[in-house]
Amino acid sequence: MEEGKTTIAPDVLITIARLTTLNVDGVSRLSSIPSGVNRLFKRRYVEGVQIEVRDDTVYVDLHVILKNNVNIRDVSHTIQQRVSRAISDMVGMQVGRVNVHIEDIDYPEEIEG
């Protein structure tokens, strides 16, 4: 019997990256980016996640909004580690780079009394 071929849709990679990022403590939500960036780089982009696959290697850009009172560097590093590991473990693809773009910080709205 011949082995079949497995194909991973880009949306699967996006979902893995998105859900993994949202489960990191300190992440409030994902951010959108201007549509011109998407056309410029010809990457697959959905809700704060850009995925590019070159030579069976995955490159990820994440645009996030963090909660206030978190260590930005620690949260970013955790996102990079977890997303890279999730993609490697779940689909067996090599991860070339995970870039984290901090777009904003969520501060609670002040309640005027």
Q: What is the pLDDT of residues 32-67, one digit of tens each?
A: 865 555 444 445 567 899 999 999 899 999 999 999
pLDDT category at 88 given cuts 50, 70, 90 is very high
- Asked if residue 20 is part of any domain, the answer here is yes
**What pLDDT shows up at residue 77?**
98
| Burial environment of residue 63 by CB neighbours within 10 A (0 to 12, 13 to 18, 19 or more) | buried
- pLDDT tens column, 1-13: 888 888 888 899 9
- Asked if residue 1 is part of any domain, the answer here is no
Rama region for 12: left / alpha / beta (φ>0; ψ in -120 to 50; rest): alpha
Domain that holds residue 18: 10-106
- Asked if residue 83 is part of any domain, the answer here is yes
